Amino acid sequence: MVAPLKVGIAGLGTVGAEVVRLIEQQGAALAARSGRGVRVVAVTARSKAKKRGLDLRGIDWVESPQALAEDSNVDCFVELMGGADDPAFSAIETALKAGKSVVTANKALIAKHGLKLAKAAEQNGGALNYEAAVGAAIPVIKTLREGLSGTSVNRVYGILNGTCNYILTRMEHEGLSFEECLKDAQRLGYAEANPSFDVDGHDTAQKLAILASLAFGTKVAQTAVYVEGISSITPEDLRAAEELGYRVKLLGVAVRTAKGIEQRVHPTMVPKSSSIAQVMGVTNAVTIDGEGIPPITLVGPGAGGAATASAVVADIADVARGIRATPFGRPVDSLRATTKAPMERHEGGYYIRLLARDHAGTAATIAMRLAEQKISLESIVQRHRNGGDVNGTAKKASPVPVILITYATSEDAVHRALKAVQRDRVISGRPQVIRIEKN
Protein backbone atom coordinates (compact mmCIF):
# COMPACT_ATOMS: atom_id res chain seq x y z
CA MET A 1 0.00 0.00 0.00
CA VAL A 2 1.56 3.33 -1.13
CA ALA A 3 1.50 6.06 1.53
CA PRO A 4 -0.67 9.11 0.70
CA LEU A 5 0.95 12.19 -0.77
CA LYS A 6 1.09 14.69 2.09
CA VAL A 7 0.27 18.21 0.93
CA GLY A 8 0.99 21.54 2.64
CA ILE A 9 -0.86 24.62 1.39
CA ALA A 10 0.39 28.21 1.84
CA GLY A 11 -2.49 30.61 1.26
CA LEU A 12 -6.14 29.99 2.09
CA GLY A 13 -7.87 32.63 0.01
CA THR A 14 -10.53 31.81 -2.57
CA VAL A 15 -8.29 29.39 -4.47
CA GLY A 16 -6.56 27.82 -1.46
CA ALA A 17 -9.84 27.13 0.33
CA GLU A 18 -11.29 25.59 -2.82
CA VAL A 19 -8.24 23.32 -3.20
CA VAL A 20 -8.77 21.99 0.34
CA ARG A 21 -12.43 21.31 -0.47
CA LEU A 22 -11.65 19.62 -3.78
CA ILE A 23 -9.08 17.28 -2.27
CA GLU A 24 -11.59 16.34 0.43
CA GLN A 25 -14.47 15.84 -2.02
CA GLN A 26 -12.44 14.11 -4.74
CA GLY A 27 -10.29 12.00 -2.44
CA ALA A 28 -11.43 8.61 -3.71
CA ALA A 29 -11.28 9.65 -7.36
CA LEU A 30 -7.81 11.18 -6.90
CA ALA A 31 -6.52 7.99 -5.29
CA ALA A 32 -7.99 5.88 -8.11
CA ARG A 33 -6.51 8.08 -10.84
CA SER A 34 -3.14 8.61 -9.18
CA GLY A 35 -2.58 5.20 -7.63
CA ARG A 36 -2.00 7.00 -4.36
CA GLY A 37 -4.07 8.95 -1.88
CA VAL A 38 -3.72 12.71 -1.47
CA ARG A 39 -4.11 14.32 1.94
CA VAL A 40 -3.75 17.91 3.15
CA VAL A 41 -1.65 17.67 6.32
CA ALA A 42 -0.68 21.30 6.99
CA VAL A 43 -1.67 24.84 6.01
CA THR A 44 -0.65 28.42 6.65
CA ALA A 45 -2.21 31.80 5.92
CA ARG A 46 -2.13 35.38 7.17
CA SER A 47 -4.99 34.89 9.64
CA LYS A 48 -5.86 31.75 11.52
CA ALA A 49 -9.07 33.31 12.89
CA LYS A 50 -10.62 34.17 9.51
CA LYS A 51 -13.86 32.34 8.72
CA ARG A 52 -13.35 30.25 5.58
CA GLY A 53 -16.12 27.65 5.81
CA LEU A 54 -13.48 24.90 6.04
CA ASP A 55 -13.14 22.06 8.50
CA LEU A 56 -9.42 22.18 9.30
CA ARG A 57 -9.58 19.68 12.15
CA GLY A 58 -6.78 17.15 11.79
CA ILE A 59 -4.74 19.59 9.67
CA ASP A 60 -1.71 21.27 11.26
CA TRP A 61 -1.57 25.07 11.30
CA VAL A 62 1.98 26.25 10.58
CA GLU A 63 3.06 29.78 11.47
CA SER A 64 4.76 30.80 8.22
CA PRO A 65 5.23 29.73 4.57
CA GLN A 66 8.92 29.17 5.26
CA ALA A 67 8.15 26.84 8.16
CA LEU A 68 5.66 24.95 5.99
CA ALA A 69 8.26 24.58 3.24
CA GLU A 70 10.69 23.13 5.79
CA ASP A 71 8.14 20.79 7.39
CA SER A 72 9.44 17.23 7.08
CA ASN A 73 5.87 15.92 7.14
CA VAL A 74 5.06 17.67 3.83
CA ASP A 75 5.84 15.96 0.49
CA CYS A 76 4.25 18.58 -1.82
CA PHE A 77 4.31 22.31 -1.09
CA VAL A 78 1.43 24.26 -2.69
CA GLU A 79 1.92 28.03 -2.95
CA LEU A 80 -1.27 30.08 -3.41
CA MET A 81 -0.27 33.36 -1.77
CA GLY A 82 0.69 35.29 -4.89
CA GLY A 83 3.39 37.94 -5.34
CA ALA A 84 6.52 37.84 -7.48
CA ASP A 85 8.94 37.87 -4.56
CA ASP A 86 9.05 36.86 -0.89
CA PRO A 87 7.56 35.15 0.98
CA ALA A 88 6.44 33.04 -2.00
CA PHE A 89 9.83 32.87 -3.72
CA SER A 90 11.89 31.94 -0.64
CA ALA A 91 9.36 29.34 0.50
CA ILE A 92 9.21 27.64 -2.90
CA GLU A 93 13.00 27.67 -3.25
CA THR A 94 13.34 26.14 0.24
CA ALA A 95 10.84 23.38 -0.59
CA LEU A 96 12.54 22.53 -3.89
CA LYS A 97 16.01 22.45 -2.35
CA ALA A 98 14.65 20.04 0.25
CA GLY A 99 13.62 17.69 -2.57
CA LYS A 100 9.91 18.42 -2.27
CA SER A 101 7.61 18.95 -5.24
CA VAL A 102 5.92 22.33 -5.65
CA VAL A 103 2.62 23.37 -7.20
CA THR A 104 1.83 27.07 -7.71
CA ALA A 105 -0.68 29.29 -9.49
CA ASN A 106 1.67 32.28 -9.32
CA LYS A 107 2.27 33.67 -12.83
CA ALA A 108 4.18 36.72 -11.58
CA LEU A 109 6.67 34.55 -9.71
CA ILE A 110 7.12 32.10 -12.59
CA ALA A 111 7.63 34.97 -15.05
CA LYS A 112 10.26 36.57 -12.80
CA HIS A 113 11.98 33.66 -11.02
CA GLY A 114 10.83 30.61 -12.98
CA LEU A 115 14.26 29.74 -14.37
CA LYS A 116 15.96 29.76 -10.97
CA LEU A 117 13.20 27.68 -9.44
CA ALA A 118 13.19 25.25 -12.37
CA LYS A 119 16.94 24.77 -11.90
CA ALA A 120 16.38 23.96 -8.22
CA ALA A 121 13.69 21.43 -9.17
CA GLU A 122 16.01 19.77 -11.71
CA GLN A 123 18.90 19.54 -9.24
CA ASN A 124 16.87 18.14 -6.36
CA GLY A 125 14.44 15.79 -8.08
CA GLY A 126 11.15 17.51 -7.31
CA ALA A 127 8.44 18.72 -9.65
CA LEU A 128 7.61 22.37 -10.31
CA ASN A 129 4.06 22.45 -11.65
CA TYR A 130 2.27 25.71 -12.53
CA GLU A 131 -0.63 24.88 -14.87
CA ALA A 132 -2.95 27.30 -13.04
CA ALA A 133 -0.57 30.24 -13.65
CA VAL A 134 -1.71 30.62 -17.28
CA GLY A 135 -5.33 30.18 -18.26
CA ALA A 136 -6.44 28.56 -14.98
CA ALA A 137 -8.45 25.48 -16.01
CA ILE A 138 -7.26 25.59 -19.65
CA PRO A 139 -4.52 22.89 -19.88
CA VAL A 140 -2.20 24.94 -22.09
CA ILE A 141 1.00 24.31 -20.08
CA LYS A 142 0.64 20.52 -20.36
CA THR A 143 -0.35 20.84 -24.01
CA LEU A 144 2.81 22.75 -24.93
CA ARG A 145 5.17 20.95 -22.56
CA GLU A 146 3.97 17.38 -23.03
CA GLY A 147 1.15 17.00 -25.55
CA LEU A 148 3.05 18.78 -28.36
CA SER A 149 6.59 17.79 -27.38
CA GLY A 150 7.02 16.18 -30.81
CA THR A 151 5.74 19.21 -32.72
CA SER A 152 7.62 22.32 -33.80
CA VAL A 153 5.49 25.31 -32.74
CA ASN A 154 5.46 28.31 -35.08
CA ARG A 155 3.05 30.57 -33.22
CA VAL A 156 1.12 30.68 -29.96
CA TYR A 157 -1.39 33.43 -29.33
CA GLY A 158 -4.48 34.04 -27.29
CA ILE A 159 -6.86 35.93 -25.08
CA LEU A 160 -5.13 35.66 -21.73
CA ASN A 161 -6.97 38.27 -19.66
CA GLY A 162 -10.68 37.95 -18.93
CA THR A 163 -11.05 41.54 -17.73
CA CYS A 164 -9.97 42.97 -21.09
CA ASN A 165 -12.07 40.49 -23.04
CA TYR A 166 -15.12 41.36 -20.94
CA ILE A 167 -14.62 45.09 -21.54
CA LEU A 168 -14.14 44.70 -25.31
CA THR A 169 -17.16 42.39 -25.54
CA ARG A 170 -19.41 44.90 -23.74
CA MET A 171 -18.06 47.77 -25.86
CA GLU A 172 -18.80 45.86 -29.05
CA HIS A 173 -22.26 44.59 -28.13
CA GLU A 174 -23.59 47.72 -26.40
CA GLY A 175 -21.67 50.56 -28.06
CA LEU A 176 -20.32 51.73 -24.70
CA SER A 177 -17.04 53.55 -24.09
CA PHE A 178 -13.98 51.95 -22.52
CA GLU A 179 -14.46 54.03 -19.37
CA GLU A 180 -18.11 52.95 -18.95
CA CYS A 181 -17.30 49.25 -19.37
CA LEU A 182 -14.32 49.46 -17.02
CA LYS A 183 -16.50 50.92 -14.25
CA ASP A 184 -18.99 48.10 -14.73
CA ALA A 185 -16.22 45.49 -14.67
CA GLN A 186 -15.00 46.94 -11.37
CA ARG A 187 -18.53 46.87 -9.94
CA LEU A 188 -18.91 43.20 -10.89
CA GLY A 189 -15.50 42.25 -9.50
CA TYR A 190 -13.92 41.48 -12.89
CA ALA A 191 -11.51 44.43 -12.58
CA GLU A 192 -9.46 45.67 -9.65
CA ALA A 193 -9.83 49.13 -8.11
CA ASN A 194 -6.51 49.89 -9.84
CA PRO A 195 -7.05 48.07 -13.16
CA SER A 196 -3.84 49.11 -14.93
CA PHE A 197 -2.11 45.72 -14.56
CA ASP A 198 -4.93 44.14 -16.57
CA VAL A 199 -6.03 46.83 -19.03
CA ASP A 200 -2.49 48.01 -19.83
CA GLY A 201 -1.54 44.47 -20.89
CA HIS A 202 0.99 43.51 -18.18
CA ASP A 203 -0.96 40.49 -16.89
CA THR A 204 -1.12 39.14 -20.44
CA ALA A 205 2.60 39.83 -20.92
CA GLN A 206 3.58 37.70 -17.91
CA LYS A 207 1.52 34.79 -19.20
CA LEU A 208 2.82 35.19 -22.75
CA ALA A 209 6.45 35.13 -21.56
CA ILE A 210 5.78 31.74 -19.93
CA LEU A 211 4.03 30.34 -23.02
CA ALA A 212 6.81 31.56 -25.32
CA SER A 213 9.42 29.75 -23.24
CA LEU A 214 7.48 26.49 -23.45
CA ALA A 215 6.74 26.90 -27.16
CA PHE A 216 10.18 27.95 -28.40
CA GLY A 217 12.73 26.83 -25.81
CA THR A 218 13.65 30.37 -24.79
CA LYS A 219 14.35 31.78 -21.35
CA VAL A 220 11.33 33.38 -19.70
CA ALA A 221 11.74 37.14 -20.15
CA GLN A 222 8.83 39.47 -19.58
CA THR A 223 11.11 42.35 -20.59
CA ALA A 224 11.24 40.84 -24.10
CA VAL A 225 7.49 41.39 -24.58
CA TYR A 226 6.16 44.51 -26.35
CA VAL A 227 3.11 45.68 -24.37
CA GLU A 228 0.18 47.91 -25.34
CA GLY A 229 -3.20 48.10 -23.57
CA ILE A 230 -6.80 48.61 -24.65
CA SER A 231 -7.65 52.07 -23.29
CA SER A 232 -7.30 53.71 -26.74
CA ILE A 233 -9.96 51.48 -28.33
CA THR A 234 -13.22 53.30 -29.13
CA PRO A 235 -16.73 52.13 -30.07
CA GLU A 236 -16.02 53.56 -33.54
CA ASP A 237 -13.15 51.10 -33.97
CA LEU A 238 -15.34 48.17 -32.94
CA ARG A 239 -18.13 49.20 -35.32
CA ALA A 240 -15.62 49.50 -38.16
CA ALA A 241 -14.15 46.09 -37.31
CA GLU A 242 -17.64 44.56 -37.44
CA GLU A 243 -18.35 46.03 -40.88
CA LEU A 244 -14.97 44.88 -42.22
CA GLY A 245 -15.35 41.31 -40.95
CA TYR A 246 -13.10 41.60 -37.90
CA ARG A 247 -13.37 41.66 -34.13
CA VAL A 248 -10.98 43.43 -31.73
CA LYS A 249 -9.29 41.37 -29.01
CA LEU A 250 -6.37 42.00 -26.68
CA LEU A 251 -3.99 39.26 -27.79
CA GLY A 252 -0.69 37.96 -26.52
CA VAL A 253 1.24 36.71 -29.56
CA ALA A 254 4.55 34.84 -29.67
CA VAL A 255 5.71 33.90 -33.15
CA ARG A 256 8.81 32.44 -34.74
CA THR A 257 10.19 34.77 -37.43
CA ALA A 258 13.31 34.83 -39.58
CA LYS A 259 14.64 37.51 -37.21
CA GLY A 260 13.94 35.62 -33.98
CA ILE A 261 11.03 35.14 -31.58
CA GLU A 262 8.60 38.06 -31.61
CA GLN A 263 6.56 38.52 -28.41
CA ARG A 264 3.85 41.17 -28.29
CA VAL A 265 0.69 42.14 -26.44
CA HIS A 266 -1.69 44.64 -28.03
CA PRO A 267 -5.25 45.16 -29.30
CA THR A 268 -5.61 43.11 -32.45
CA MET A 269 -8.15 42.71 -35.22
CA VAL A 270 -8.88 39.05 -35.87
CA PRO A 271 -11.17 37.66 -38.61
CA LYS A 272 -14.67 37.00 -37.28
CA SER A 273 -14.44 33.52 -38.85
CA SER A 274 -11.53 32.55 -36.56
CA SER A 275 -12.05 30.44 -33.44
CA ILE A 276 -10.53 33.07 -31.18
CA ALA A 277 -12.96 35.74 -32.42
CA GLN A 278 -15.87 33.74 -31.00
CA VAL A 279 -14.52 33.93 -27.43
CA MET A 280 -16.55 36.46 -25.46
CA GLY A 281 -16.83 37.81 -21.93
CA VAL A 282 -14.35 36.73 -19.27
CA THR A 283 -13.45 33.52 -21.12
CA ASN A 284 -9.83 32.91 -22.20
CA ALA A 285 -8.51 31.08 -25.26
CA VAL A 286 -5.12 30.02 -26.64
CA THR A 287 -4.37 28.97 -30.22
CA ILE A 288 -1.24 26.97 -31.09
CA ASP A 289 0.05 26.75 -34.66
CA GLY A 290 2.34 23.74 -35.05
CA GLU A 291 4.29 22.39 -37.99
CA GLY A 292 2.19 19.94 -40.00
CA ILE A 293 -0.98 20.17 -37.89
CA PRO A 294 -4.07 22.41 -38.06
CA PRO A 295 -4.25 25.15 -35.40
CA ILE A 296 -5.33 23.93 -31.96
CA THR A 297 -7.53 26.27 -29.91
CA LEU A 298 -8.11 25.70 -26.20
CA VAL A 299 -10.99 27.65 -24.66
CA GLY A 300 -12.17 27.90 -21.06
CA PRO A 301 -12.38 29.89 -17.82
CA GLY A 302 -9.08 31.70 -17.36
CA ALA A 303 -9.64 32.79 -13.77
CA GLY A 304 -11.85 32.22 -10.74
CA GLY A 305 -11.50 30.13 -7.62
CA ALA A 306 -13.03 26.90 -8.90
CA ALA A 307 -11.25 26.95 -12.28
CA THR A 308 -7.86 27.77 -10.76
CA ALA A 309 -8.27 25.20 -7.98
CA SER A 310 -9.12 22.54 -10.56
CA ALA A 311 -5.78 23.11 -12.31
CA VAL A 312 -3.90 23.13 -8.98
CA VAL A 313 -5.42 19.78 -7.95
CA ALA A 314 -4.59 18.30 -11.37
CA ASP A 315 -0.95 19.33 -10.82
CA ILE A 316 -1.01 17.74 -7.34
CA ALA A 317 -2.37 14.54 -8.91
CA ASP A 318 0.60 14.50 -11.31
CA VAL A 319 2.95 14.71 -8.33
CA ALA A 320 1.09 11.80 -6.69
CA ARG A 321 1.52 9.77 -9.89
CA GLY A 322 5.27 10.34 -9.74
CA ILE A 323 5.41 12.52 -12.87
CA ARG A 324 8.40 14.85 -12.87
CA ALA A 325 8.16 16.84 -16.09
CA THR A 326 10.95 19.31 -16.84
CA PRO A 327 9.33 22.62 -15.79
CA PHE A 328 9.89 24.41 -19.12
CA GLY A 329 9.95 21.33 -21.33
CA ARG A 330 13.75 21.40 -21.64
CA PRO A 331 16.60 21.60 -19.12
CA VAL A 332 17.14 25.19 -18.01
CA ASP A 333 20.73 25.21 -19.32
CA SER A 334 19.47 24.46 -22.84
CA LEU A 335 17.00 27.37 -22.95
CA ARG A 336 18.09 30.15 -25.31
CA ALA A 337 18.28 33.79 -24.32
CA THR A 338 15.81 36.09 -26.05
CA THR A 339 15.76 39.83 -26.54
CA LYS A 340 12.93 42.25 -27.18
CA ALA A 341 12.11 42.29 -30.88
CA PRO A 342 11.72 45.91 -32.08
CA MET A 343 8.10 46.43 -33.12
CA GLU A 344 9.35 48.55 -36.01
CA ARG A 345 10.27 45.27 -37.69
CA HIS A 346 6.85 43.69 -37.23
CA GLU A 347 5.14 42.84 -40.51
CA GLY A 348 1.42 42.39 -41.08
CA GLY A 349 -1.79 44.10 -42.07
CA TYR A 350 -3.02 47.26 -40.35
CA TYR A 351 -6.27 49.06 -39.61
CA ILE A 352 -5.78 52.84 -39.71
CA ARG A 353 -8.49 55.37 -38.77
CA LEU A 354 -7.86 58.99 -39.71
CA LEU A 355 -9.86 62.20 -39.33
CA ALA A 356 -9.18 63.71 -42.75
CA ARG A 357 -9.64 67.45 -43.27
CA ASP A 358 -12.30 68.19 -45.87
CA HIS A 359 -10.01 70.02 -48.29
CA ALA A 360 -9.17 69.48 -51.94
CA GLY A 361 -6.17 67.23 -52.34
CA THR A 362 -6.40 65.58 -48.91
CA ALA A 363 -7.05 62.08 -50.28
CA ALA A 364 -4.27 62.45 -52.86
CA THR A 365 -1.81 63.55 -50.17
CA ILE A 366 -2.63 60.58 -47.93
CA ALA A 367 -2.35 58.18 -50.88
CA MET A 368 1.00 59.69 -51.89
CA ARG A 369 2.49 59.31 -48.41
CA LEU A 370 1.39 55.68 -48.22
CA ALA A 371 2.77 54.99 -51.70
CA GLU A 372 6.12 56.50 -50.71
CA GLN A 373 6.41 53.76 -48.07
CA LYS A 374 5.22 51.10 -50.55
CA ILE A 375 2.03 50.49 -48.52
CA SER A 376 -0.78 48.90 -50.54
CA LEU A 377 -4.39 49.24 -49.45
CA GLU A 378 -6.89 46.40 -49.30
CA SER A 379 -9.84 48.71 -48.62
CA ILE A 380 -10.79 52.35 -47.96
CA VAL A 381 -13.97 53.35 -46.12
CA GLN A 382 -15.15 56.95 -45.78
CA ARG A 383 -17.64 57.34 -42.94
CA HIS A 384 -19.74 60.45 -43.54
CA ARG A 385 -19.57 64.11 -44.49
CA ASN A 386 -21.21 67.10 -42.80
CA GLY A 387 -22.58 69.12 -45.66
CA GLY A 388 -24.82 71.72 -44.09
CA ASP A 389 -27.29 72.49 -41.34
CA VAL A 390 -31.00 71.72 -41.23
CA ASN A 391 -31.81 74.98 -43.05
CA GLY A 392 -29.57 74.07 -45.92
CA THR A 393 -27.07 76.83 -45.23
CA ALA A 394 -23.41 76.05 -45.60
CA LYS A 395 -21.35 75.48 -42.52
CA LYS A 396 -17.72 74.82 -41.84
CA ALA A 397 -16.82 71.28 -42.91
CA SER A 398 -15.86 68.82 -40.16
CA PRO A 399 -13.06 66.27 -40.50
CA VAL A 400 -14.14 63.13 -42.35
CA PRO A 401 -13.44 59.74 -40.71
CA VAL A 402 -11.50 57.58 -43.15
CA ILE A 403 -10.61 53.95 -42.47
CA LEU A 404 -7.77 52.20 -44.29
CA ILE A 405 -6.98 48.48 -44.27
CA THR A 406 -3.48 47.72 -45.55
CA TYR A 407 -1.99 44.63 -47.06
CA ALA A 408 1.06 43.23 -45.25
CA THR A 409 3.62 45.93 -44.56
CA SER A 410 6.06 46.86 -41.80
CA GLU A 411 5.29 48.77 -38.61
CA ASP A 412 8.07 51.19 -39.45
CA ALA A 413 6.57 51.97 -42.86
CA VAL A 414 3.14 52.68 -41.33
CA HIS A 415 4.56 55.07 -38.74
CA ARG A 416 6.73 56.90 -41.29
CA ALA A 417 3.75 57.37 -43.60
CA LEU A 418 1.49 58.64 -40.82
CA LYS A 419 4.12 61.06 -39.51
CA ALA A 420 4.40 62.51 -43.01
CA VAL A 421 0.61 62.83 -43.25
CA GLN A 422 0.53 64.67 -39.92
CA ARG A 423 3.26 67.06 -41.10
CA ASP A 424 1.15 67.77 -44.19
CA ARG A 425 -1.68 68.92 -41.86
CA VAL A 426 -4.33 67.04 -43.81
CA ILE A 427 -5.63 65.14 -40.79
CA SER A 428 -6.86 66.13 -37.33
CA GLY A 429 -5.78 64.47 -34.10
CA ARG A 430 -3.80 61.30 -33.69
CA PRO A 431 -4.32 58.38 -36.11
CA GLN A 432 -5.66 55.15 -34.62
CA VAL A 433 -3.61 52.10 -35.62
CA ILE A 434 -4.58 48.49 -34.82
CA ARG A 435 -2.62 45.49 -36.02
CA ILE A 436 -4.39 42.66 -37.85
CA GLU A 437 -3.63 39.02 -37.02
CA LYS A 438 -4.60 36.59 -39.77
CA ASN A 439 -5.71 32.98 -39.14
Instruction: Specify the length of the chain in residues.
Output: 439
The catalytic residue among 107, 112, 207, 249 is 207
Q: Which has the closest alpha carbon to 111: 245, 263, 9, 237?
A: 263
Cα gap 77→366, rounded to integer Å: 61
Coil, strand, or helix at residue 29? helix
The answer to whether residue 207 is catalytic is: yes
Cα gap 405→352, rounded to integer Å: 6
Distances, alpha carbon 378 to alpha carbons 266, 351, 370, 375, 402, in Å: 22, 10, 12, 10, 14
Cα gap 426→366, rounded to integer Å: 8
Q: What are phi and psi of 226, to 5 degrees?
A: -75, 135
Cα gap 76→102, rounded to integer Å: 6
Residues 6+ apart with CB under 8 A from 247: 172, 238, 241, 269, 270, 272, 277
Point out the residues that are catalytic.
Answer: 207
